[in-house]
Structure 1
């Protein structure tokens, strides 16, 4: 498992050229999202886990309308609908894993 998210080894393993934690729509983004949610659950509790999940889910329509309006008014877009689709897919993986995260028991080393 690759844990160093900034290095060239991680870029090769995840098939991405970007460095950083802001691309939640690529392969590294799923690992980052799951790691963040597990940490929030362990460090801050269930309430803040659900607050964070709410804002991530709220980001789906914001992302959609942002891509749509930017394309309509400028003719180009920094983000694409394919990236929105991948982001949404990753977020629903987190939603599917929510019961396991809430149990706060070891689980992810078996699955991911």
Structure 2
């Protein structure tokens, strides 16, 4: 997969519009469109920003590394074991900040029990 395809994939996977990504990078919508069409390539500084936003390596963006981020690996592993987890995370959007904190604290508690 080429850079333009990976960028488009990552943007859609993370539910960013072209405008969203352009704003995060401090560049124009049309520049993102050119990156995704393959008519323009980013400079190194922009590549670094893109890799940080999507938590992937520059090598991955450039097609030199086929591995995804470690976080994506764990997400895929959990999704395989618990196919409904994506729906659960989507439903969690309706929780208040306090309720989300409770969920987070419970997960931390369960992890600490496992370490003992």
Q: TM-score, normalised by structure 1?
A: 0.27
Output the TM-score relative to the length of structure 2.
Answer: 0.26
- Higher relative contact order at CA 8 Å, sep ≥6: structure 1 or structure 2? 1
- Which entry has the higher C-alpha Rg, 1 or 2? 2
